[in-house]
A = this chain, B = another copy of it.
Amino acid sequence: MSYKSMSSEELNAELENLKREYQGICEENITLNMARGKPGADQLELSMPMLDVINSSSDITSVDGVDCRNYGVLDGVPEAKKLMADMMNTDPNNVIVFGNASLNIMHDNIARAYTHGVNGSTPWCKLDTVKWLCPVPGYDRHFKITEHFGFEMINIPMDENGPDMDMVEELVANDDSIKGIWCVPKYSNPTGTSYSDEVVKRFANLRPKANDFRIYWDNAYAIHHLYDEADSQDEILSILDECEKAGNPNLVYEFCSTSKITFPGAGIAALGTSKENKDYIIKMMQVQTIGHDKINQLRHAWFFKDFGGLKSHMQKHGELIRAKFETVLNVLEEELAPCEIATWTKPNGGYFISLNVENGCAKKVVNMCKEAGLVLTGAGATYPYGNDPDDSNIRIAPTYVTAEELKEATHILAVCTKIATLEK
């Protein structure tokens, strides 16, 4: 029953009941962690056969005849470039395959712009102010990077089609200290939003005042669908194609990785961008490294064989995690929906459900959960500087815990949400 239609007596009784229940939960000494988007052990098992594709009797030579056990090959072995290009819906010539983490590529890309500029522009460390656009809620590790380099972050509201493009267009057209924007264009972290075609096209057609402005297009969930049916899968336009068409080829860096496909930490990651951007990055990278782990690049390429292999592998991931998403959604629906005190997303893919509780309640909910043994992503983490102005958003990461634990965890979250709302 909606809290809005309950009398204050009824509300008081409800609160007393909930507090008693919460007390009981606390006494159970539960330890559950839903803080990060970590794959579950069952998902990791799917990639174990990859560890056999290269062994002591393998001929570890790439298609272009390079002995991948030795030094060299700065932009990645051709097989891996093809695989990652397919994931980004672009040409292998646009791709650099790196080591194990796209976060590292993004960080280093910004570090390079900070120390040496972008394709010849003034190094950002020589500027008084660098500003960065941050669609919110968003990915905490993105915001940490731009905070680390001292950039001034500007919140951009998101709706069901993506960031508020009126605001983005106006800001970048008029302020040349704005040098970039963070985007997770598909199954966005944490809302699950996928950018509409119109939003992608408007990004590709931006006319930024700063010629060293770049879109950081973190396509982290490019093929991370929960459902097999095409009409339950989000698809987005290729930003690289759209930028090319718009005469803006250098506007974007796209990132992807296999962290949530094979093994987080032991995967491969890639950057897709224009020839001019790529040439500049390669020139700088030559100073940093002789090359990334080519054996692991081949291991991935040989395991999946082609993009078809990659997609069917991701179907298996979807099978394992969609039940978890549905468990969370069912508990929220059963326990919170009737009260009319929260809203949440129902994504078709990605790793998160985004819960919005009443303003001023998120921190309290997360703290109460923590005291009861359930660790969630810190409230506010989905905003720059950890500051959610409404104190309303909570990120739920359903993948790492088991299905049974998940039911209990979501119940605890629901109880804490009700208490925090009633006490307010």
Contact = CB atoms under 8 A, between A and B. Distances in A.
Contacts of A72: 265
A69 interface: yes
A302 to B, nearest CB: 13
Nearest to A266: B295
Contacts of A54: 51
Contact of A293 (B38, B57, B99): B99
Contacts of A8: none
Contacts of A148: 116, 284, 287
Contacts of A290: 101, 103, 141, 264-265
Contacts of A73: 265
A280 interface: no
Interface stretch (A106-114, A213-221, A375-383): A106-114
A225 interface: no
A186 interface: no
Nearest to A36: B71
Nearest to A294: B265
A136 to B, nearest CB: 19
A100 B44 CA distance: 23
Q: Chain A, interface size: which category?
A: 35 or more
A157 to B, nearest CB: 25
A287 B38 contact: no
A206 B116 CA distance: 32
A52 interface: yes
Contacts of A7: none
Given A38-B70, A125-B115, A108 B293 contact: no
A403 interface: no
A48 interface: yes
28 contacts: A41-B70, A44-B67, A44-B70, A48-B56, A48-B57, A49-B56, A50-B56, A51-B54, A51-B55, A51-B56, A51-B58, A69-B264, A71-B265, A73-B265, A99-B292, A100-B293, A111-B111, A125-B126, A141-B287, A141-B290, A144-B286, A144-B287, A148-B287, A263-B295, A265-B291, A265-B292, A265-B293, A293-B293
